[in-house]
Amino acid sequence: MISKESLENILGERITGFSSMGGGCIADTQKIDTDGGLSYIVKQGGASDMFIKEAAGLKELAKPAVIRVPKVVAFDNDYLVIEYIDSKGRMPNFFEKFGEQFALLHKYKGERFGFDDDNYLGHTPQPNIPRGEEAFSWLQFYKNKRLIYQYELANQNGYVDKKFSSLFNNLIDQLPQILSGSEEEPSLLHGDLWGGNYMTGERGEPVIIDPAVYYGHREADLAMTKLFGGFTAEFYNSYNKTYPLKDGYEYREGIYLLYHVLNHLNLFGRGYYSQAISLMQRYS
> Is position 118 annotated as part of the catalytic site?
no
Paired strand residues for 43: 29, 80
Statement: residue 130 has pLDDT above 80: yes
Q: How many C-beta atoms lie closer than 10 Å to residue 16's C-beta?
A: 12
Alpha helix (H) residue ranges in the chain: 4-11, 50-62, 94-106, 138-141, 149-156, 162-179, 218-224, 233-242, 249-268, 273-281
Predicted confidence band of residue 119 (pLDDT cuts 50, 70, 90): very high
Catalytic residue among 49, 86, 192, 221: 192
pLDDT of residue 28: 86
Per residue in 148-195, pLDDT (tens digit) is 999 999 999 999 999 999 999 999 999 999 999 999 999 999 999 999
Per residue in 201-258, pLDDT (tens digit) is 999 999 999 999 999 999 999 999 999 999 999 999 999 999 999 999 999 999 999 9
Q: How many C-beta atoms lie closer than 10 Å to residue 189's C-beta?
A: 28
What's the mean pLDDT when you consider all of the chain? Answer: 95
C-alpha separations of 91 from 16, 61, 197, 200 in Å: 31, 22, 18, 8
By DSSP bridging, strand 15-23 and strand 124-126 are: unpaired
Predicted confidence band of residue 26 (pLDDT cuts 50, 70, 90): low
Per residue in 45-68, pLDDT (tens digit) is 866 799 999 999 999 999 999 999
C-alpha separations of 16 from 4, 35, 72 in Å: 10, 6, 21
Radius of gyration of the chain measured on its C-alpha atoms = 20
Predicted confidence band of residue 1 (pLDDT cuts 50, 70, 90): confident
Give me the torsion for CA of 149, 151, 156, 157, rounded to 10°. Answer: 120
The C-alpha atoms of residue 94 and residue 243 are separated, in whole angstroms, by: 18
pLDDT of residue 195: 96
C-alpha separations of 226 from 8, 96, 99, 159, 206 in Å: 41, 16, 14, 24, 18
Q: What phi and psi values does residue 207 have, to the nearest 5 degrees? A: -135, 130
pLDDT of residue 2: 82
**Structural domains in the chain, sorted by start:** 4-83 (3.30.200.20), 94-281 (3.90.1200.10)
